[in-house]
Structure 1
Amino acid sequence: MKRKTLPSTPTRGSVRARPRGRSTAHRVLICGSRTYKNAAAIAEVVHGLPTGTVVIHGAARGADSLADLYARQNGLETEVYPADWDKYGKGAGPVRNKQMLDEGRPTEV
C-alpha cells in the first residue's frame, strides 16, 4: 500500500503532477464529519472499490480516518490533504476541502 501525504499548500517552485502512466480512472474523495462513527458504512464503500483506486481524504478524525484505515487494509493508495491550521486558522478546513477537490481531482465524491 502506498500512502502519499501532500503538504497543505505547495511550496514555491513545487509541482504536484501525477506520475506518468498513473491512471486517473478511479479517484474517490471520502470526507465527512469529525464525529462520524459509522465504520461499517465506510468499510462497505471502500471494500467495494476496484483495485487501483486512489482514496483521497483530509486526515481529520471521523470519516477521513476511517477511509484511510479501510483503504490501507484493501491495499489502496491514499492521497492525504491535512488542513494547515497554523497558516489558515479557523478557515483551514474549507481551504483543505477546496484543495482536495482542485488538486486531488476526484472522479467520485
Structure 2
Amino acid sequence: MIVIACGGRDFADGAFVVSALDALHRKTPISVLLNGGAPGADRHALVWAASAGVDHITYHANWKKHGRAAGPRRNAEMLKAAISIGAQLGETVGVVAFAGGAGTADMKRQSQKANVKVWEPVQ
C-alpha cells in the first residue's frame, strides 16, 4: 500500500502515530510512505517509516515561492505522486490523517475528491 501521512504541526503524540501506522502496516503492508516534511505528525510518520524499513518520500511546501498556496500545492503534488506510484506498483493508495488544522483538512478534501480512502485514527 502507498500511504500519505498527514496531520498537525503540533501533533506531539509520536507513540500514537507509531501505533496507528504499525496497526495499518500489519493489516496491509505499507511499501511507500509520503509526508509533507512538517514538524508534528509528518515527522513522527517519517521516523516510523525509517525505523520500519519502509521507503519514504518527503514533499516540502515552497512557502517562499507560493505563499499561502504552498500547502495545497504540496498536497496535490503528494497525492498525484502517490497515485502514480500506486499505479506503477499495482498497489492501493490511502491517506492516514492525524488530528490537524487547515492543511490536514485540505489533504483529506483533495484525497476524497480523488476517491482515495482516508483513515483518521482516533486517540
Amino-acid identity (%): 32
Structure 2 match to 1:36? 11
Letter in 1 for 2:17: I
Which string of whole-angstrom CA distances, capped at 9 and with x for unpartnered residues, describes residues 86-109 of structure 1?
210121111111111122226111
- Where does the alignment leave 5 or more consecutive residues of structure 2 unmatched? 87-92, 96-123
- TM-score under structure 1 normalisation? 0.70
Query: Which residue among 67, 79, 82 is the counterpart of 1:89?
Result: 67
Which residue number in structure 2 is paired with residue 57 of structure 1?
35
Divergent runs of 4+, >6 A = none
Q: CA RMSD in A?
A: 1.6
Quote the Cα distance in structure 2 between the aligned partners of 1:102 and 1:64. Answer: 18
Distance in 2, Cα, partners of 1:52 & 1:94? 24
Give the helix-richer structure, 1 or 2.
2
CA contact 2:3–2:33 (8 Å) conserved in 1: yes
1:70-81 alignment to 2 at 5 Å? 70-81=48-59
| Counterpart in the other structure of 2:121 | none
Note the residue ranges of structure 1 that are not aligned, 5 or more in a row: 1-25
Matches within 5 A, 1:15-34: 26-34=1-9
Deviates more, 1:60-69 or 1:79-88: 79-88
Q: How many residue pairs are counted as aligned between the two chains?
A: 84
